Structure 1
Amino acid sequence: MAIPIIDLHCDALLHLYEGNTNFTSSSRLDVNYERLQAGHVMAQAFAIFIDPTLSPEAKIQAAYQQVQHFQQIITQHPLMVHLKTWDDFDKLKPGQIGAFLTIEGVDFFAGDLSFWHQFYQFGVLSIGLTWNNPNEAADGLHSKLRRGVTAFGRDIIQLNNTHKIFTDVTHLHEQSFWDVMEQADYVIASHSNATSVCQHERNLTDEQIRAMIAKNAPMHVVYFPEFITGSKEASMTDLIKHIDHICGLGGKHLIGLGSDFDGINAKIPGLEHAGMHQNLVNELLKHYSEADVRGFCYQNFLNHLPR
């Protein structure tokens, strides 16, 4: 049984920006056109991620170039459709693959809100204020500044609220997480697992998961072994333990998938690229009903779009 997939995070645009990789079929990409088709992916999020060590000028140029690569993906593959609004998800036809932009860290904004408006026009539908580093908007996981979300970050959240854009809590320092929970109307964790199953700073504590549930905020599990077992090795059964845990806390209706393909250097056997999503589907069907699995794979996300 093939069940459609909506994947909330991949870093394919970073690879396209860094080299002349062929998106159609390159084996260097976990997420390419042929693998999206093989995996029955109905919608794929493409993150704009910028190396925080670049100069301010290089950061914004890298962001623009990643958008250009995204636009080329759409124009060169007629079955791929740019999803610019939440209503566009309703218009997808069988056989089409929706593609939408997200931002993983607003470093390239450099404190200038005009960039928010530019990238909103490009079709960005979800924004994480920062990656692991501190920036003008918020503290990431590795920040020692103890600021949480800054005034600039609050301005971004307000724009997200007004325009019904998700604010992504993945990668945030805990203080930033709680600030977002207080200020944002539309919250998502695009690729995060459960701390109680794997004690890693990238994962969500039970307190955070319960807060996400109270806010009706989607949580998408990530395929990286380090965030699943704390080591370089993990199985699909290990990943399902995180799903089980979130379900046990009452979050079954909010669980989705956020592979982090092309952003991870270790893989789950049988789940090494986007063409293998259905292997996870088959494993999930051993533990959950078809209705539950459809929820995890795509329906839960569609049920919680910012409308």
Structure 2
Amino acid sequence: MLTKVIFASCLVFWINYFAVILAEDPNMTRALELMSEVPLIDGHNDLPWQFRKKFNNELNKVDLHTLETTHTNIPKIKQGRLGAQFWSAYVPCETQDKDAVRQTLEQIDVVHRMCQKYPETFMFATSSKDIMDAFSMNKTASLIGVEGGHSIDSSLGTLRMMYQLGVRYLTLTHSCNTPWADNWLVDTGSEPSQHNGLSPFGKQLIVEMNRLGMLIDLAHVTVTVMNQVLDMSEAPVIFSHSSAYSICPHKRNVPDDVLRRVNETRGIVMVNFYNDYVTCSKTAKLKDVADHFDHIKKVAGASIIGFGGDYDGVTRVPEGLEDVSKVPGLVAELLRRGWTDEEVKAALGNNLLRVLAEVEKVRDSLKAKTPDDVPIPYDEVKNPCRTSIGYANTGDLHSLSTLVILLAAALQACVTA
């Protein structure tokens, strides 16, 4: 009798065991395996802005282990296997010509302090090597991207200082024109073009970003700016949080001809999860985001794709991608759709690591080049909050320097054409 009981118990155990095995999603299992081999690198997360809005950057009032009013906290980061994150140092366009630089510096500071407060989770990072070092220690590499050219107040010196503080990309515009670049709203017709893309100073800025080794982020700019930068940048560019225009014809997304140019110039488009950019409606599902991945791969190859969730910067995210913990489900969906292991690993992090390494290589090749110290013409930035100190008798020199910059850009375009 005892033998029969033992046999029956064993039978029940093995039936339950195999039921669990069969119930497991092999694609999710493989997704998690791949995410243990290559870091998931996300191009854009606005958690620092939530610190500003909810707590006025008083991190002593925040516990990221228990914070539940955001898309992002430490348990969600761990569950989502987030290997590296570009945290957005964003301040609104209303700060332009006012206190944009101060507020941006405070956002940079809050990212540094977040890493200092939670050293067991975050490691501040500024390079491709740092990302892999953090990954080897099971920490989330934390990089900074400044979202919006208004944050530098048309100053190359400010750009350089932000780089020294760890900023590794600048989104050229947000949702307003700067004195040197047009933003995406120009393409909607709701705002006039002020520069036909980039002004002469805007082109100086691109050259200086190449010299510094700062990623040029083309999310939020017009198609004209996209093409101008692709023509002149010596380094690959990124779209930190943009999707495919052919799937959702929103002007924040990237048209197919630009996708192909990103492939030709070895850049990356990091897919945004905001419903309005995914389906051009208020609702979306995980599969709709995967459609953008599929389309970009079909048009320009898996080598230009990345993840750019835009968590904590948007109000609507897809069903199945409610917060940062859910991203492995998207990776599993790509595998379910026939993506190879190598394609998935490219999108997870290898593409961004390659782009960042190539930007660093261009920087190193330009070490002998001196910093550009020619300021934007005062007439282009004159406003009641700005003084003209230092501008006396520099107009002729600036015009000559600008001419040299434009001639160099024209020659570069001819070489690459």
Residues 56-65 or 262-271, more deviating = 56-65
Instruction: Flag structure 2 segments of 5+ consecutive residues without an equivalent.
Output: 1-28, 56-60, 187-191, 362-417
Residue 81 of structure 2 is matched in structure 1 by 40
Residue 124 of structure 2 is matched in structure 1 by 82
Q: Quote how far apart the aligned CAs of 1:89 are.
A: 2.1
Q: Quote how far apart the aligned CAs of 1:114 are.
A: 1.4
1:271 corresponds to 2:321: yes
Question: 2:86 is paired with a residue of what secondary structure?
Answer: strand
- Structure 1 CA distance for aligned equivalents of residues 152 and 354 of structure 2: 31
CA contact (8 A) 1:146 1:175 kept: no
Residues 280-289 or 41-50, more deviating = 280-289
CA contact (8 A) 1:17 1:65 kept: no
> Deviations along 1:166-202, whole A, 9 cap, x unmatched?
1111110111111111122231111111111111111
- TM (norm. structure 2) is 0.71
Q: Which has the larger radius of gyration?
A: 2
| Equivalent residue runs for 1:8-47 within 5 Å | 8-20=43-55, 22=62, 24=64, 25-47=66-88
Q: Quote how far apart the aligned CAs of 1:249 are.
A: 1.4
Residue 132 of structure 1 is matched in structure 2 by 175
Residue 156 of structure 1 is matched in structure 2 by 205
- The 1:284/1:16 distance shift into structure 2, 3 A limit, reads same
Question: 2:93 is paired with a residue of what secondary structure?
Answer: coil
CA contact (8 A) 1:85 1:123 kept: no
1:121 corresponds to 2:164: yes
Question: 1:219 is paired with a residue of what secondary structure?
Answer: strand
1:291 corresponds to 2:326: no
Residue 179 of structure 1 is matched in structure 2 by 228
- TM (norm. structure 1) is 0.95
CA contact (8 A) 2:96 2:151 kept: no
The residue type equivalent to 2:181 in the other structure is: A
- Structure 2 CA distance for aligned equivalents of residues 57 and 173 of structure 1: 24
> Deviations along 1:239-288, whole A, 9 cap, x unmatched?
11111111111321111000000111111112111111112122222112
> Deviations along 1:53-82, whole A, 9 cap, x unmatched?
126342222111111210111101113111
The residue type equivalent to 1:82 in the other structure is: F
Q: Quote how far apart the aligned CAs of 1:105 are.
A: 0.7
Q: Quote how far apart the aligned CAs of 1:160 are.
A: 1.3
Pick aligned residue for 2:332 from 279, 282, 296: 282
Q: Quote how far apart the aligned CAs of 1:232 are.
A: 0.9
Question: 1:47 is paired with a residue of what secondary structure?
Answer: strand
- Structure 1 CA distance for aligned equivalents of residues 47 and 87 of structure 2: 7
Residues 258-267 or 50-59, more deviating = 50-59
Residues 62-71 or 284-293, more deviating = 284-293
- Structure 1 CA distance for aligned equivalents of residues 116 and 173 of structure 2: 30
> Deviations along 1:197-244, whole A, 9 cap, x unmatched?
111111111111111111111111110111111101111111111111
- The 1:23/1:223 distance shift into structure 2, 3 A limit, reads farther
Residues 27-36 or 115-124, more deviating = 27-36
| Larger relative helix fraction | 2
Instruction: Flag structure 1 segments of 5+ consecutive residues without an equivalent.
Output: none
Q: Quote how far apart the aligned CAs of 1:86 are.
A: 3.0
Q: Quote how far apart the aligned CAs of 1:85 are.
A: 2.5
Residue 56 of structure 1 is matched in structure 2 by 97
What's the % identity of the aligned pairs? 24
CA contact (8 A) 1:23 1:29 kept: no
Question: Where does structure 1 differ by over 4 angstroms across 4 or more consecutive aligned residues?
Answer: none
